[in-house]
Amino acid sequence: MLEKLTVNLGERGYAIHFATDGADAVRDQVTALAKAGRRIAVLTDLNLQRVHAVAMRTMFKDAEVLAVEPGETAKSVTGLAQVWDFLAANQVDRGGALFAFGGGVVGDLGGFGAASWLRGIDCFQVPTTLLAMVDSSVGGKTGVNIAAGKNLVGAFHQPRGVFVSTALLATLPPREFAAGAAEVIKYGLLGDAALFQQLEQRPLAVSSGDLPAVIRRCCALKARIVEADERETAAEGGRALLNLGHTFAHAVENVAGYGEYLHGEAVAIGLCAAARLSQKLGYTPPADVARIEAVVAAQGLPTRLRAPLPYAKLWAAMTRDKKVRAGGLRFVVLKRVGEAATQSDIPAAHVETSFRDVGAQ
């Protein structure tokens, strides 16, 4: 059964389609575009091309496919140029469409490739990981990493459609599934206390009967936030709330080296650091910090750095982050479980001790 959730953004609005097996829905979209004379191209990675060969043939028929190396290193300026060359070689014009079949890396790279090719072509997201299903495939943030930091080069480019097919998660490695659960925890913390309590009672698993409902719940929360603040311009709160834990996380990924931590693993550590920071600011009681760390650990995620990283480098990475405003860092803090806020006037000493609490040196 195919369910649909609409992201209401006027002419940039689109539907998120939910199904256990959404291959037919993707195939129908591809067929409709082809009948209209539009050229179709597909971006994926080498692992997915091998594991999901049958599903991809069902969805995309004989469309041209570019398969990049798996992992965060593909989300680079070099990877972006590879996408451009692929689109050029296959004569994808302004009426063409790019389907991103993959996790967050493929989705971000494909989205930015589509945003920048011929000043913008349509992109459809077909997420294959839990993280991409609940977060990165929705909202239109696209980009690549450079040496200075994560996602510093990118564009807002809303997809024309998102197809969530939970059957694709059956082949997802446990570590990747856990990484996606970090974003689910984030949604519970920033705006859905009941979801967080549900995760306290039973950790999320591929076999969870409530997994489809949890995915849809996260997408609905993100859709409402994006509708209210599409380009993260609100002075307070707004779309920036989705960055809970991410200022810490992006610094970890940058200093440790892209690929050392999966994005969700870095987010998990970032959520624990954000909880510590919120405690130091007088918002989050120690008991709630312990609850957060317990839920993170129960999902098989790290609550601390696996090996110490120098705080001076972490701080430098944070100051280069795109969330800096007027030269100052803006953090997302927890007022309580289920309610978050943005705050800029945070003493640097609190940031440092919060990072040291999770293993910085």
Residues assigned a catalytic role: 119, 141, 183, 222, 232, 239, 243, 246, 250, 263
Return the structure tokens found at 27: 């195939």
CB-CB contact of 295 with 198 (8 Å): no
CB-CB contact of 353 with 280 (8 Å): yes
CB-CB contact of 41 with 57 (8 Å): no
In one-letter notation, the amino acid at residue 107 is G
CB-CB contact of 270 with 334 (8 Å): no
Scanning the chain, the segments in alpha helix (DSSP H) are 23-35, 46-51, 53-60, 77-89, 104-116, 130-131, 174-191, 193-201, 211-228, 246-256, 263-280, 286-298, 311-319, 348-357
Q: What are the residues facing 65 on neighbouring strands?
A: 42
- Phi then psi dihedrals of residue 186, to 5 deg: -55, -45
CB-CB contact of 301 with 268 (8 Å): yes
- Give 131's Cβ-side CA count (13 Å radius): 25
Scanning 170-237, the segments in alpha helix (DSSP H) are 174-191, 193-201, 211-228
